[in-house]
A and B are shown apart, each in its own frame.
Chain A
Amino acid sequence: MKHEKVTFPHMGVSYIPVKVLLESLGLSCVVPPVNNPRTLEKSLVQAPEFMCFPYKLILGNLLYGLDHGAQTIVFGGSRGPCRQEYYNDVLQAALRDMGYSFDYVNLNLSKLWTRENYEAARRAWGVNLRQVLKSLILTVDVLFAVEALYECARRKRCRACDGSAVDVILQHYTDAVGRARGYAAVKGLTRQARRDVQGLPEKDAKDAADLLRVAIVGEIFVTSDAYANLNIERKLGRLGVDITTYMGAAAWVREHLLRKLMPFQKRELAQELAREFWGVDDIGGHGVQTVGNSVLSSRRGFDGIIHLYPLTCMPEIAAQSAFGAIEERYGVPIMTLVVDEMTGEAGFDTRLEAFVDMLASRRRYWATARERGEDPSKRQI
């Protein structure tokens, strides 16, 4: 087995399982710091202006990795009519034009179970099937443990007496994971952090019943990356909102890895639900899922839905056009927020705060609707 250093880009907290995967294959990783303003310093100069924000962050991560001794890049590309399909080739060409030389391993994330992926890993690092399978199992285990931790944090932030305590624990966890090596250490830290979060004291149960429930839908990268979405989960959580998200690495693996193992293939729930408003199966990226998840959240009785996407994201712009009809049919407000490289958070905060205020006042309005002779089940905007 060759001994070389490997780097890979970030998407939210997916770096934790990816690190475990590569380390359990016997490789050493150069993990770029989680996305932050400095990630963009070099990449903004190089990336075309109208490229999407995720591309600029990914390029920044890879530049960091190569500048810090990595010889190989691992990138997860996917197939589907969105620009991300080309990022694989574009990133390679862009980095080589900048004068870097490196090996490039592309994993096809749309079809994780393909021989193609195994062959790519075998050619690059001389690993055998047994090693790959073992590492994959450990990785998936860590992936779901990390997901459970962050799910627990989302649940706790709005219920805890002191919501900021959750983020103090997560910050310590992030620091510790950065130093930890291998499956056992990472898994142990994740479990411990989850226990710590769970142990935080909560407010009265009575208050919990009054919590506003908001679903976050939209493009997978910005909904799952805390830097890209300006920490929306933390902000809403501290405003006392119970958040549900649908997109992320764990959901992806469940959809593209685990479900493919099932003997019967069923259509994804979000795709099924989107058919009420859209007669198409795919418009690229996660456009259909955005529509479907909005319908799902409306039916589940959420107070509101927040839709996030990076500026110029075509599939999400198309999905947005369905919102008028969804709002009219179900009476659940949907607010779209577009993110890009801005760090002036005032406008973003104002919109979130105003949205939450509005949801609270709508709740009060419908709570007294019967007295005015209005039927709450037929509510409309």
Chain B
Amino acid sequence: MADFFLGADVGSVSTNVVALDDQKQLCAKVYLRTGGRPLAALIDGVRAIQKTIGPSARVAGMGATGSGRLLAGCLLGADVVKNEITAHAAAALTTEPSVGTILEIGGQDSKIIFLRQGTVVDFAMNTVCAAGTGSFLDRQAARLNVPIEKFGQYALLSRQPVRIAGRCAVFAESDMVHKQQMGHTLPDIVRGLCEAIVRNYINNLAKGKKIEPAVVFQGGVAANAGIVEEFKRQLGCDVVVPRHYDVMGALGSALLAYEVMERKAGGQATSFVGFDRLHRDYDARSVECDDCVNACEVIELRADGGLVSCWGDRCGKWSAVLAKGQEPSLFARTERDQGSRGEGLKLGAQRAEKD
């Protein structure tokens, strides 16, 4: 029986899970909308993977990434929990070993990663706001009544793109409304939006740094042919969209898990919890600790009522209590308090997807 390596990328907009075989070949992938419920999406994703690779498949390693990586790591027992930059770079290097620049546009953030000789030497991420990312495109597509999947095709129909301000989502939106009322066609507006997003991306992230080939474009937005064309035009070079562009983060984390397990001496077992334990009833919620002024929001993760993990305590004392196998008194205490407040604070699932 072959060994499989799982990778999960829990992002703000999508949750992706992949399985690699022991030859590092992708044999199953799932792309789901997170929909504000990372726990449910993640469990659905892993179950779907299990269906593809067979119920008796043996998992030899597990990696987690994305803004919900901590949650995913605790829930599934990941061997490696890594940030998206490292995961994306690992994935891109496997599919395109000569990669010099990675362009990645995800749901709520966009990044650019510069590599030399297979090493990440620099990167940049969008700073404060999410203009020009997948969520913004999603919203504009909904507003224009164009299915997001067809957005790119519309852009390619355009002959005369209109100029749209891409710096801020609010400005862009009012610009678009204005251009619509002036009578511009839909394809021209969509193309103008693609142009604006790419212009904004190159200006804010690349910031004059040298973009070396090969340029790889990944992340959910790479499905948009209009954006791909626009990158090719504005960068003046070829842009490669890898076959599994939409799950590159998950792919990367599976590859990282593969490496970690390979390095582990004596064939140590994975900490993956196993497929059968996914059928438990999971519940995450947050509790504000009152012991000091930091007022940390501590997240507790329960499976069938039993405490699995907790995190978010800056001082680390509750996590330390749990590591010793005891139940932190914090949660018992707040259950009592919450009894008088009525419904408990179910913030956990929401917080995990916040970026």
Interface residues of A (CB under 8 A from B): 33-34, 36-38, 164, 167-168, 171, 174-175, 227, 231, 234, 311, 324, 333, 336-338, 340, 343-344, 346-347, 349-351, 353-355, 357-358, 361-362, 364-365, 372, 381
Complex Cα distance, B89 from A365, in Å, reads: 15
23 contacts between A and B (CB under 8 A): A33-B293, A36-B293, A36-B295, A168-B315, A171-B292, A174-B292, A175-B292, A311-B128, A324-B207, A343-B297, A346-B67, A347-B67, A347-B109, A350-B85, A350-B125, A353-B82, A357-B82, A357-B85, A358-B85, A362-B120, A381-B114, A381-B122, A381-B209
Closest Cβ of chain A to B335, distance in Å, is 22
Q: How far is the CA of A347 from the CA of B69 in the complex (A)?
A: 12
| Complex alpha-carbon distance, A353 and B85, angstroms | 9
- Expressed in whole angstroms, the Cα–Cα distance for A286 and B83 within the complex equals 32
Q: For the complex, what is the distance from the CA of A346 to the CA of B84, rounded to whole Å?
A: 12
Chain A residues with CB under 8 A of B294: 36, 227
Count B-side interface residues using an 8 Å CB cutoff. 34
In the A-B complex, the 10 residue pairs with the closest CB atoms: A354-B85, A365-B119, A33-B293, A164-B316, A36-B293, A344-B354, A353-B83, A354-B83, A346-B67, A350-B83
Chain B positions within 8 Å of A234 at CB level: 314
Which B residues are in CB contact (< 8 Å) with A344?
351, 354-355
| B56 surroundings in chain A (CB, below 8 A) | none
Q: Which residues of A contact B329 (CB under 8 A)?
A: none
A362 touches B317 (CB 8 A): no
- Contacting B315 at CB < 8 Å: which of A171, A337, A381? A171
Q: Does B340 contact A (CB under 8 A)?
A: no
B117 touches A365 (CB 8 A): yes
Q: In the docked arrangement, what's the CA distance between A362 and B89, Å?
A: 14
- Establish whether residues B292 and A338, one from each chain, have CB atoms under 8 Å apart when the complex forms: no
Residues of A within 8 A of B128 (CB): 311, 338, 340
B123 at the interface (CB under 8 A from A): yes
Kindly provide the distance from the CB of A132 to the nearest chain B CB, expressed in whole angstroms.
31
Chain B residues, Cβ within 8 Å of A171:
292, 315
B135 at the interface (CB under 8 A from A): no
Q: Determine whether the beta carbon of B84 is less than 8 Å from that of A354.
A: yes
Distance between Cα atoms of A330 and B248 in the complex (Å): 33
A372 to B116, CA, bound (A): 12
Report the minimal beta-carbon distance from B235 to chain A, rounded to whole angstroms. Answer: 18
Contact partners of A324 in chain B: CB under 8 A:
207-208
Q: Kindly state the separation between the CA atoms of A107 and B82 in the bound complex, as whole angstroms.
A: 48
For the complex formed, measure the closest distance between the CB of B321 and the CB atoms of chain A, giving whole angstroms.
12
Contacting A at CB under 8 A, from B92-129, are 109, 114, 116-117, 119-123, 125, 127-128
By a CB distance below 8 angstroms, the chain A residues around B354 are 344, 346
Across-interface contacts of B121 in A (CB, < 8 A): 333, 358, 361-362, 365, 381
What DSSP secondary structure best describes chain B's contact surface?
Answer: loop
Most chain B C-beta atoms within 10 Å of own C-beta, residue among A231, A336, A351: A351
A372 close to B117 (CB less than 8 A) = yes
Tell me if A's interface is mostly helix, strand, loop or mixed.
Answer: helix
Least CB separation from B354: chain A residue: A344
Chain A nearest CB, measured from B308 CB (Å):
20
Q: Are B208 and A357 in contact (CB under 8 A)?
A: no
Question: A372: shortest Cβ distance to chain B, in Å?
Answer: 7
- The reply on B271 being an interface residue by CB < 8 A is no
Closest residue on chain B to residue A238 by CB atoms: B316
* A338 and B67 within 8 A (CB): no
B86 within 8 A of A: yes
A357 CA to B123 CA, complexed, in Å? 11
Whether the Cβ atoms of B119 and A362 lie closer than 8 Å is yes
B237 contacts chain A at the CB level, 8 A cutoff: no
Q: Determine the residue in chain B with the shortest Cβ distance to A354.
A: B85
A354 touches B315 (CB 8 A): no
Chain B residues whose CB sits within 8 angstroms of the CB of A37 once the complex forms: 295
> A344 vs B122: C-alpha distance in the bound complex, in angstroms?
24
Closest to B117 in A: A365
Decide if A164 touches B120 in the complex (CB within 8 Å): no
Specify which of B83, B119, B315 is in contact with A167 (CB 8 Å cutoff). Answer: B315
Q: How far is the CA of A174 from the CA of B351 in the complex (A)?
A: 29
A164 neighbours in B (Cβ, 8 Å): 315-316, 320
Instruction: List A contacts of B84 (CB < 8 A).
Output: 350, 354
Name B85's closest neighbour in chain A (CB-CB): A354
Report the minimum CB–CB distance from B97 to chain A (whole Å): 15
Q: A36-B293, A168-B315, A171-B315 are in contact. Are A346 and B355 (CB under 8 A)?
A: yes
Q: Which of A168, A357, A365 is in CB contact (< 8 Å) with B317?
A: A168
Cα–Cα, bound, A362→B109 (Å): 24
Contacts of B122 in A (CB 8 A): 333, 358, 381
What's the minimum C-beta distance from A356 to chain B, rounded to whole angstroms? 9
| Chain B 71-93 near chain A by CB (<8 Å), digits 1 or 0 | 00000000000111110000000
Contact with A along B201-213 (1 / 0, CB 8 A): 0000001110000
Which of A34, A344, A354 has most chain B Cβ within 10 Å?
A: A354
CB neighbours (8 Å) of A354 from chain B are 83-86, 123, 125
Measured between beta carbons, the chain A residues less than 8 angstroms from B315 are: 164, 167-168, 171
Besides A350-B67, A362-B121, 16 other A-B contacts (C-beta < 8 A): A34-B293, A168-B315, A234-B314, A324-B207, A333-B121, A333-B122, A349-B83, A354-B83, A354-B123, A358-B122, A361-B119, A361-B121, A364-B119, A365-B116, A365-B121, A381-B209
Tell me, in angstroms, the Cα distance from A358 to B85 when the chains sit together. Answer: 9
Set of chain B residues within 8 Å of A353, measured between Cβ atoms:
82-83, 86
Which residue from chain B places its CB closest to the CB of A379 in the assembled complex?
Answer: B121
List chain A residues, Cβ under 8 A from B293.
33-34, 36, 38
Is the pair B83, A38 in contact by a Cβ cutoff of 8 Å?
no
A38 contacts B320, C-beta separation under 8 Å: no
- How many whole Å from B352's CB to the nearest CB in chain A? 8
Residues in chain A near residue B351, CB distance under 8 A: 344
A351 and chain B: residue at smallest CB distance? B125
A171 to B320: give the CA distance in the assembly, Å. Answer: 15
